[in-house]
Amino acid sequence: MPRMSQFSPQGLANTAWSFADRGLGHAPLMESLASSSIARIPLFRTQELANPSWSFATLRFLDLPLLDAISAQSLRTLRHFNEKDLTETAWSFATLRCLDRPLLQSLSAASIKIILDFGAAGLSNLAWSFSTLGVADAPLMPAISSAAIPKMPEFVPQGLSNTAWSLATLSMEDLPLMDSLAAASLRLLREFNEQNLSNTAWAYATRGYSNPPLLPAISAASLPRISFFQEQNISNTAWSFATLGIRDAPLMAALSAASMRRLQQFTVQGLANIAWACAELGSVHVPLLEAISASSIRTLAALPRGPLRRAPGRSGLPGSEGEGPKAVLSLAQALAASAALEDGVYASVVACLERFGSAAEGNHDQLREPFPPSAFGGSGPGGGDPSAPCVMTELPDLCVLWKPPGWTVTVSDELAAPEPPCERAFAGSGRPLQDWVADTLGYARPIMRDAGAQFGLVHRLDRDTSGAIVCATTYRGYLLAQLQFTARRTRKIYVCLCRGEVSRARRWLDTPLRFGRCADGLWRSSAEQSGKPALTEVLEAGHLTAEDEAFSLVRLRIHTGRQHQIRAHLAALGHPLAADALYGGRAGPWCTRSFLHAERLSLDAGSDPITVFCRLPGDLRAALAAVAPCGAPARCLLRAVLGVGEAAEGAG
C-alpha cells in the first residue's frame, strides 16, 4: 500500500478488479485504492474508469468521494463509452445505491444512441440499474423494450427475471414486452433458480398480469424446490399468487409448511406477506397464523432500538426496508384480515409505530404554527363555500378535513399492505386535495408538505365522493391513524342514493372484488370470486321515487377498503348509484354527480377516540328534494339523513 501512490491508472484499475474478482474486500487497501484513484482520475481512460466503480460495487464498498470523481470524469468522456462501459457504470452506481441523476441522464442518452447494438445481458443490466435506483427514464425504458423483444432468444433466466422485475418496480405498462418475457421464461423455466422463480412471479403480480400459462408453470417448477426457497422467496411467491387471486392449494400448502419451519428467519414484511396471502385467498391455516402471531411479537421486539435512520430523499419516516413502518402496518393489516391480530401483537405494533413516529418528528423543527383562519373559514358542507376544502376539527396529532366533490386524493398508499399498481391506477380528473393541504397547511406542519408521507392524508375518498377525511399533523398521528385503518378499527358510515329498491333488511355484501381495466379501457371494480375479499354492511334503506323511477336511500358501513367498493357492490346487486355513469347508474338533471357521501367517521389514534359527523352537502340535499319517499320508513330515513346530527348516532 505505501507504493499505491505510484501506480498508474491502469495499475489501480487492474488491482481493484483483481481483488473484486476474488471477493477480497480489505478495507485499508480499498481506501488506499480510492484515494490514489481520485488523485489520478483525470488520467483514467474509459475502461479504467469502469473497472474501479465495478470493483467497489462488487465488494459492496461505498466510497462517495471516489464515486463523485468517477461520475465527473465519466461525464467528460461519455462519448467514448461502449455498451460494457455504460452498463457497468450504471450497474455499479445502482448496486451501491448511489443516485446521481446527471450521470444517469447522460448514461441514458448515450445508451439510446447505440441501444440496438446492446446484447441481452446489457439490456437487462441497464433496466435493472435504473429500476433499482427508482429512475423511470421515459426515453430509455421504451428503447430497451424495443431492442429487447427481437433479442428475446438470447436472454438467460437471470436476464429474463431481472427485466420483468425492472418493469414491475418502475410500474411500467408494457404488455408486449411482458408477453415476450413470459414466452421466453416458459421455454427456460427448468433453468430458473429459486430467486428467478419468485422474482418473476412477483413482477407479474405487481403489474396485475396473471399470464395464465406462466403462473401455473412457475408453481409446477417451484413445488419440487420449496425446501430450497429462502425466506424472501417464500413470502414473495405466496404474496404473488394471492395478489393475482390464484388459488393453488398444493403450492400454498408447500409454502405454508416451509414457512412454519423457518418463521424465525422472516423479516416483518415476510411475515406480513405470508399472513396476507392466507387472508386474500381465504386460506385459514390456523397453526400457521398462530405461529405468525407468536413470531411477530418476537420479531417486532427484536427491531433495532438505536437511532433510526431515514432513507435519503425519502419521507420523514425512518426504518429499513422490510422492517420499517410500511412492513409493520402491513403485518397488522394482514393479521386483522384473518381475525388473527391479537392484543399482544397489536400492542407491539403500537410501540413500534410510536417509536418510528417519534424518530421522524426528531428530523424536523418542532415549532408548530397555528393553521391560518382561512383554513377553517366558514366553508364546508354547510358553510359559505362548500366547493373548497377546510379544516373541520383539529386535534393534537390529527385534523379532519372536509373533502368536497371534484377533489381527488391520489397520493400513493405506501404504508398499506402490498397492492398491485392497477389498484392505484384510477385517479380521475379533479383538483388534488394534497396540493391544498401542502399549500394551505404545509408551512405549519412538516408532514403536511411531505410527499413521502402522503402529506399526512391517511385514507382516500373517490373524486365525486364528499365527506370527512383524516389528515395527520404529526408523524406519530399519521402512523397510529394508519394503524386504525389497516387493522379495521375504524367505523366508516356512508349515505348513498341508488337505483331500484334495495331490501330494507340489514344485510352483508361480501362478493370479492377485482379492480382492473375493462374491455372499454376504463378501470372498474367487478364482482369476481377470484377477486379480493370485500365486506359492505347495509344498515338501513328507504324506498323513494323520482320521475316515475324507483330509487333507494341507503346507509352503509364498509369493513374493508377496496377501490370503488360501495359502487361495485351495489352495481353487482343491480342497484348502481344514481348518476354513477361508470357503473351504469343513471339519473335526471336533479342529481349532478354520483350520490355518495361519507357521513360519519370514528377512530382512536392514540389520543381520545373521535367521532366526526359530516352533514350532507347542498348539492345532495337539493337532489333529495326531487325524490318522494314511499312509506313511513323512507320518510324517517330521509329526515334523519337531512338532519344528520342525531341521525348518525343511530347509524348502527
**Residues designated catalytic:** 462
Grid coordinates of 139: 426515453
* Cα 483 from Cα 470, distance rounded (Å): 13
CA distance 56 to 54: 6
CA distance 189 to 279: 29
167: cell is: 418493469
Contact yes or no for 559/461 (Cβ under 8 A) = no
In this structure, are residues 337 and 276 in contact, taking their beta carbons and an 8 Å threshold?
yes
The C-alpha cell at 118 is 446492446
- By CB atoms closer than 10 A (0-12, 13-18, 19+), residue 294 is middle
Closest CA to 354 of 295, 283, 305: 305
CA distance 459 to 485: 8
Residue labelled with grid coordinates 358510515: 493
C-alpha cell at 177: 414486452
Angle between helices 46-58 and 9-21 (to 10 degrees): 30
How many Å apart are CA 164 and CA 582, to the nearest integer? 32
C-alpha grid cell, residue 147: 431492442
User: Where would I find the beta strands (DSSP E) of 369-465?
Assistant: 390-394, 398-403, 407-408, 431-432
Residue 521 backbone zone (phi > 0: left; psi -120 to 50: alpha; other: beta): left
The Cα–Cα gap between 241 and 360 comes to 34
514: left (phi over 0), alpha (psi -120 to 50) or beta: beta
Among the listed residues 641, 527, 545, the one whose alpha carbon sits nearest the alpha carbon of residue 587: 545
Is there a contact between 393 and 610 (Cβ–Cβ < 8 Å)?
yes
* SS3 category, 88: helix
Residue 53, all three cell numbers? 466503480
Cα–Cα distance, 274 to 257 (Å, whole number): 11
How far, in Å, CA of 607 to CA of 605, rounded? 6
Could you list the beta-strand ranges (E) of 133-186.
Answer: none
